[in-house]
Amino acid sequence: MPELASGERVWVLEVPYKAPTPGAKYAADLKAYVFVGAMLPPDLAGYRSKPYSYARWIEDELNAEASPGATAFPKQPRVEQLEAAEAIATAALSGRRGFWLADDPGCGKTGSAVLAAKAVLKQRGGQNVLITVDRPSSITIPAWRESIAAFGGDGGYRWLILPPDQLKKLLGPNGRPKYHFDVVINDEAQLFRHLSAQRTTYMRRVNKLTTVPAKAPFVITLTATPGHHPGEYTYLSSLLAQVFDEPPTEWADLGRKLVTLDFPLEPGWDKGTWTWTAEAKQSPRLQSASVTQVKDWLTECDPPVMLHRDAPWGPAPVEGLPVEFTLEQWAAYNKEWGDFQREMRLARTGDNKARGRAALLRFRQKASYLRAAQTAELVSATVERGYQVLVAVELVTTAADPVATLLEQQGIGVSRIFGTGDLERERLLFQRGENRVVVFNTASAINLQAGELMADGTRASTAKRIGYFHQPRYSGIHARQTIGRAHRDYQTCPWSLLYAVGTVEEAAAKTMVDRLLVTSASVAGDVTALRDIAALFNADWLPEDVFD
């Protein structure tokens, strides 16, 4: 880095790929463009790092001073948010190393966590807060930045918001953390449920999960959908070890530890994964007892280190909605279904899981594409009735894009929250009612509800929301999270699941509705539903992560 003259500072810039940077230089060690001077020139002002970003974190390190934080219209915490923050702070004061807030989607866990983090720092000391967020980060990071500002500001503490795939930036060449965080907030913590995943490795190192509690961050875990069985609660392993007053290394492989405690788990298909035993797969009662046991450990200790509350406004209404195929569509469907069955038989005979997964994906792509016109027609009619409509999809080129294009051809404004582009701008266009429809494939961490209080003090449109699943979601976690995008903060959003009558989709849709969506077991994933759906598609021999 160059010498700084009096009054000069370093500006670390957030530069899009191949954008012009007149006057800035690329710093290879930082992997970022920097400018040295008293003020940013106008041509570079648009690349100014944003509060609580990694670029701003590095910039403050280089200048040895904190930059101004974010601003937003203040929000008044609800009673349940204050209660949650108090419960978290109480656990921290007692010496606990973390807390799991498992309230239903839409209950305001973000605000609760911001309030709690500041309370913990005030009582225990420290300055640094790390927040990990789900994708798309172009929406989730601004949402958290706004929440920090809206719920009383950053308190003069240093905050850093990162998606999981960027946690490696916080590790040195030896794999050890470069920074110590006093509080870590892991939002949508189910992202770290697979012990073998690289992002989980990074998280465990940054959170110092194998370190004694006194030298580790206080970790606030946020998720209403922790996993499909207790063996996937890997991010809670050190907290469980503390509850049992045992070394954190004893619980590092959570599934293995639970087996020693007679949990009905066995090694999964991939290294480091666990699944239900054959007996448990056939027994919802046994699964429920195992999930309840873990919850009891965390809620019955003194003080409790877990809190779960159902949404006060009740569960979302969910129903299946049949779609009739035309003769031409039936002909296309029957051909694709026959091709799929032949391909699946070949894959099964050769024990070729990759081929089976590919066959399943191709069939789902073609089946969802066949129904794009009916979905667009239904959405158009719903818009005419005065509603704003959410269309949830998984696939982009054969679902999201054709549905959005068909609606736009009718003159209906559509926000596209999929692929690349300015996704937050797309979200705001829908929230302000400028676009009456949003087509999206992200299941968590974005707000699409009516009447949302915006950062500038304005509110989202109050038009009633209605949601449509264009295709069945095979993951109970993703289905429940998707519903919570608009059915939240005391706003009710009914959902319908579209399927073609007389096809295998009909049976899959009914299974999804019956076993995944109308259940109130928000912290107990229903893997029996995943297996049932797999069997319908003649794919029950594939690994469960196909439907994850």
At 149 the pLDDT is: 95
At 526 the pLDDT is: 55
The number of CA neighbours under 13 Å toward the Cβ of 45 is 5
Q: What is the mean pLDDT of each run of 10 residues along the chain (548 residues)?
A: 82 87 89 93 92 96 92 93 98 98 90 98 96 88 93 97 96 94 96 92 97 96 90 96 97 96 91 89 88 96 95 85 90 94 92 91 91 94 94 93 97 94 93 97 88 92 95 78 90 91 88 65 55 84 71
State the Cα–Cα distance between residues 109 and 328, nearest whole angstrom. 48
In degrees and rounded to multiples of 5, residue 35 shows phi and psi of: -130, 140
In degrees and rounded to multiples of 5, residue 319 shows phi and psi of: -145, 160
At 547 the pLDDT is: 64
At 521 the pLDDT is: 46
* Both structure tokens of 345: 């038989």
Q: Which domains does the chain have, with CATH numbers?
A: 1-48 (no CATH), 79-307 (3.40.50.10810), 318-547 (3.40.50.300)
At 508 the pLDDT is: 87
CB 105 within 8 A of CB 188: no
CB 403 within 8 A of CB 411: no
- Its pTM stands at 0.81
* Both structure tokens of 92: 């921290």
At 520 the pLDDT is: 46
C-alpha torsion angle, residues 459, 461, 462, 467 (rounded to 10): -120
Task: State the Rg of the chain over Cα.
Answer: 24
Neighbours of 541 (CB within 10 A): 13
Beta strands at 128-132 and 158-162: parallel, antiparallel or unpaired:
parallel
At 263 the pLDDT is: 97
Question: At residue 367, what is the residue type?
Answer: A
